[in-house]
């Protein structure tokens, strides 16, 4: 039979692991895709395939206050936030298309996550 302190320590470790796998130790990363219906052909199609983040879509034509608040001057624009703070912004070029790749954006998200360890 195991000593009581070992059982107690095991339960404490289990609780800590459960908490760290949930809200207590997680950081919120949000990727916001700003675009407009008139620019739909140039939308960033791979945004929904990004992992380890929440995805938000904003149509600036329907939400001009958000466009102004986030200083969106060209679409599409992809902004990465961590805990509500803007960390990185990817903007379209003069042809209204985003040149950043899925891999480039995903790598940045992964860097943000790993920076906390």
CATH number of the domain residue 82 falls in:
3.40.30.10
β-strand pairing of 54-59 with 85-91: unpaired
Cα–Cα distance between 115 and 109 in angstroms, integer? 10
- The length of the chain in residues reads 117
What are the pLDDT digits (tens) for 35-94? 999 999 999 999 999 999 999 999 999 999 999 999 999 999 999 999 999 999 999 999
| Phi-psi category of residue 84: left, alpha or beta, with phi > 0 → left and psi -120 to 50 → alpha | left
For residue 97, is it within any domain? yes
For residue 102, is it within any domain? yes
For residue 83, is it within any domain? yes
For residue 84, is it within any domain? yes
pLDDT of residue 27: 65
What range does the domain containing 80 cover? 26-114
Number of domains in the chain: 1
pLDDT of residue 62: 95
pLDDT of residue 65: 96
pTM, rounded to two decimals? 0.76
Angle at 115 between CA 114 and CA 117, to 5 degrees: 70
């Amino acid at each position: 039979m195991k000593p009581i302190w070992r059982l107690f320590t095991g339960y404490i470790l289990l609780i800590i692991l459960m908490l760290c796998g949930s809200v207590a130790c997680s950081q919120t990363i949000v990727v916001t895709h700003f675009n407009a219906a008139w620019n739909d052909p140039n939308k960033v199609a791979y945004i929904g395939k990004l992992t380890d983040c929440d995805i938000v879509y904003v149509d600036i034509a329907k939400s001009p206050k958000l466009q102004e608040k986030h200083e969106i001057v060209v679409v599409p624009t992809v902004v990465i936030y961590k805990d509500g703070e803007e960390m990185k912004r990817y903007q379209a070029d003069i042809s209204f298309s985003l040149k950043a790749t899925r891999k480039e954006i995903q790598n940045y998200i992964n860097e943000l996550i790993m920076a906390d360890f």
